[in-house]
A and B are shown apart, each in its own frame.
Chain A
Amino acid sequence: MGLLIAIVVGCVLGLIFGINAPIIPYTYSGYLAIAIVAALDSVFGGITSVLNKKFDMKIFVSGFFGNAILSILLTYLGEKLNVDIYLAAIVVFVGRMFTNLSIIRRYYIDKWSQKKQEKEDENKQKTV
């Protein structure tokens, strides 16, 4: 419960800060975009690991910041080589996001149908 509150509070504060904060210099906005995608991907990965009861704080945090920094470096390298490396990063991150999302979806749908099943069983027992 506390966790949920913390997450919500963090989001709200982030919203307020982000909307009223200064603009990022235009040249860096490209790097920032790819970092955001990487961060989102690691968040979804974190949620999946929670569902699998394999959540590890260290892995989550290191993945969060590590992926972001790595993707920034790769984009910069790509610019220097005149090769759009960031495209590959986007494909990977968004692919993983879809995978994680489908796991979460399957988990909750299973859970919901399990609950439904249990309720029907209860009703059956009662009638019997």
Chain B
Amino acid sequence: MNLKGKWTITVVMGIVCFVLIAVMFMQFKTVNQTDITSIEIMRESELRSELASWKSKYEDVQEKVEENNERIEEYKQGTEDNVKATQLLEEELNQAKTSLGLTDVVGEGVVVTLEDNDTPPDYYSEDDVYDGRINVYDILQLINELKLAGAEAISINDIRVVDKTDIAWVMDTYIVVDGVRISSPYVVKAIGNQTALESGLMQKDSGYMDKIINAEDKKATVQRENEIEIYKYDKDWDTKYIQEN
């Protein structure tokens, strides 16, 4: 009995010790890994008041955020309108530029080639005077005819012809366009309705081609083309004397 009693005591004490120490160290581990103190101090009522204050703060911040968002929307609208206005202005500007000839353009039209001709045709006799050179009046007349036929852009040897363009005849020999000398062959490009342009030039007896080829025996050809590139007028266009009325 005594031995059994002692044995019981020993075992029970062992178990008790084990449980106590084990639980103690588990608790140590738990406390070590969670920062209890700050939350533990607060009781329910404190937590409630904290929560309420945080809630009201949050709502305030929410309101401010909404206000700011609205303002951002307004500014966006403002800039959108601004952007539209700028776009319209830009479009107008581009159109004006194109019409003036300040932009490179491409389109269908005709290409008229005039060439200086040295050899007279067969039926000329030696006494007849033959001047096969293209002179400035030929070119001016051609340009006028093209405009009449509805050409929207014209260039001679890739020099853009605009309202302001002058074509001069220096010493009766050289043709100078806007200060740039050009020589044969003279390639005149014109963008417009192909049919209108061609037929305008090819009219029998009164059209330009007939007059220049048949009446003066000069070398000239007209050709339709679909993608004619005409470069822009690249000189300065300053006005000193005209003013807005």
Contacts and interface: CB of A to CB of B under 8 A. Distances in A.
B21 A29 contact: no
A43 interface: yes
Contact of B10 (A3, A14, A35, A40): A3
B170 interface: no
Contacts of B34: 26, 29
Contact of B9 (A3, A11, A19): A3
A interface bracket (residues with beta carbon within 8 Å of B): 20 to 34
Contacts of B23: 18, 32, 35-36, 39
Contacts of A21: 22, 25-26, 29
B141 to A, nearest CB: 102
Interface string A1-40: 0110011011101110111011110100110110110011
Contacts of A93: none
Contacts of A13: 18, 21-22
A19 B29 contact: yes
B42 to A, nearest CB: 12
A125 interface: no
Contacts of A18: 21-26, 28-29
B14 interface: yes
B27 A24 contact: yes
B36 A26 contact: yes
A61 B26 contact: no
Given A18-B25, A19-B29, A29-B30, A7 B36 contact: no
Interface residues of B, number: 32
Given A23-B30, A26-B34, A30-B40, A17 B22 contact: yes
> Which of B9, B20, B34, B44 has most A Cβ within 10 Å?
B20
Given A18-B21, A29-B31, A57-B8, A7 B14 contact: yes
Given A3-B10, A18-B24, A30-B40, A23 B18 contact: no
Specify the main secondary structure of chain B where it touches its partner: helix
Contacts, number: 98
A128 to B, nearest CB: 42
Contacts of B17: 6-7, 10-11, 14
A28 to B, nearest CB: 9
A82 interface: yes
Nearest to A61: B12
A26 B9 CA distance: 34
B26 A10 contact: no
A14 B8 contact: no
B18 A29 contact: no
Contacts of B30: 23-24, 26, 29, 32
Nearest to A17: B22
A85 B230 CA distance: 99
A14 B27 contact: no
A57 B21 contact: no
A50 to B, nearest CB: 10
The 9 A-B pairs with the shortest beta carbon distances in the complex, nearest first, are A18-B25, A14-B21, A10-B17, A6-B14, A10-B14, A14-B22, A10-B18, A18-B22, A6-B10
26 contacts: A3-B6, A6-B10, A10-B17, A11-B18, A13-B18, A14-B18, A14-B24, A14-B25, A15-B22, A15-B25, A17-B25, A18-B21, A18-B22, A21-B22, A21-B26, A22-B26, A23-B26, A23-B33, A24-B26, A26-B30, A26-B34, A29-B31, A32-B23, A32-B27, A32-B30, A43-B16
